Amino acid sequence: MSDLTVTIVQSELAWEDPAANLERFDQSLANLAGKTDLVILPEMFSTGFSMRPEPVAQTMESETVRWLRTTAAKLDTHLMGSVMIVDNGRYYNRLMSAGPDGKLQTCDKRHLFRMLGEDDIYTGGQSLLTVTIKGWKLRPFVCYDLRFPAWSRNLNNEYDAAVYVANWPAKRSEHWKALLKARAIENLCYVIGVNRVGTDGNGLDYSGDSTVIDPVGNTLFTIHNDPALRTATLSREILDNWRRDFPAWLDADHDVLDLPDPVT
C-alpha cells in the first residue's frame, strides 16, 4: 500500500462571510492540482466559529457544499473541513469530505463546546466516519472532540490517521498540542490537526499550531501563527512497522466502550 500525501491549510477566516472565505481558499488552493491526495481546511472554514447560525448557516444544497465538490474535482484530490449547516430545522457543525469523484461523506461534531453555548444552538453528532483514500482509513473529528479519548479510540486499528479540524483559541494552545500528541501515541496512528489563525468576531485570538504527528509521537512539522499551506507524506512503512513492533492495540479494553459502528 502506498504512502499518503496530505496538505493542511492554516488560514485566517473572514467572520460570518462564506463568499469571502471561498474566494480566499480558491486563491490559496489554486496551485495544488494533482499534487496531493488530501487537502484539509479548518473547522467552520466558511464562517469562523460563530454562535449566530441564522444569517449564514448553509444548506446541503448551498454554494459552500457545491464548492467543496467542484474544488475537489478540479484539484483531483479529497477536500475536508467542517461547515455550519442547517438541516431539517436543526443546526449542525458538520464535517464534510468531498472526493474527486463528487462523493460527499459527512459526520457531525459530537462534543459541543458548552463554554460558548454551542450545545444550546447546535445538535451533536451520533456517528463516527471513516474516509478511505488510497487504502488509508482516516477518521475525522471536530475541535472539542479532541478532549474525549473514548470517542477517538482506535480499536483493532480501525483507522490509520485521525484528523482534527478546529478553531482552537491561542490561550489553550498547550492543551491542543499535548492532546494531539497523546491521541497519536495511544491510538498508534498518524494525527493531523488543522487550526485557524487570526482573530474572530468574538475577539478570540488563534495561534494555529497546525501539525502532523506520526504513530510514534514524532512531530513531522508544526505551523505557528501565520497563514500557510504545508504538505506531509504519511508513511505506510512507519505505520505498519510500529504497529507490528509495539502492538499495544492488542491489549486495549474492548469491553468498556459502546461506540457506534463507523459510517464508511
Specify the pLDDT at position 263. Answer: 84
Of the candidates 94, 169, 159, 158, which has an alpha carbon nearest to the alpha carbon of residue 125? Answer: 94
**Is 63 assigned a catalytic role?**
no
Of the candidates 42, 39, 37, which has an alpha carbon nearest to the alpha carbon of residue 10? Answer: 42
In a domain, 174, yes or no: yes
Q: Stretch 102-119: mean pLDDT, rounded?
A: 97
Helix H or strand E segment including 187: helix 173-187
In a domain, 264, yes or no: no
Distance, CA of 114 to CA of 41 (rounded, Å):
23
The tally of domains found in the chain comes to 1
Q: Stretch 77-87: mean pLDDT, rounded?
A: 98
The whole-model pTM stands at 0.96
Residue with cell 501563527: 225
Q: Which of 12, 109, 118, 189 is catalytic?
A: 109
pLDDT in tens, 35-77: 999 999 999 999 999 999 999 999 999 999 999 999 999 999 9
Q: Which of 12, 16, 118, 143 is catalytic?
A: 143
Q: Which of 43, 107, 118, 189 is catalytic?
A: 43
Least confident of 37-46, 141-150, 251-260: 251-260
Specify the pLDDT at position 257. Answer: 66
- Indicate the pLDDT class of residue 256, thresholds 50, 70 and 90: low
Domain that holds residue 216: 4-256
Cell of 116: 460558548
In a domain, 101, yes or no: yes
Q: Stretch 146-152: mean pLDDT, rounded?
A: 97
Distance, CA of 43 to CA of 207 (rounded, Å):
14
Q: Rounded to whole angstroms, what are the CA distances from 115 to 118, 119, 144, 178, 260?
A: 8, 9, 11, 20, 26
In a domain, 54, yes or no: yes
Distance, CA of 166 to CA of 139 (rounded, Å):
15
Give the list of residues 6+ apart from residue 70 with CB closer than 8 angstroms, or none.
none
**Is 143 assigned a catalytic role?**
yes
CATH number at residue 114: 3.60.110.10
Of the candidates 25, 127, 12, 125, which has an alpha carbon nearest to the alpha carbon of residue 79? Answer: 25
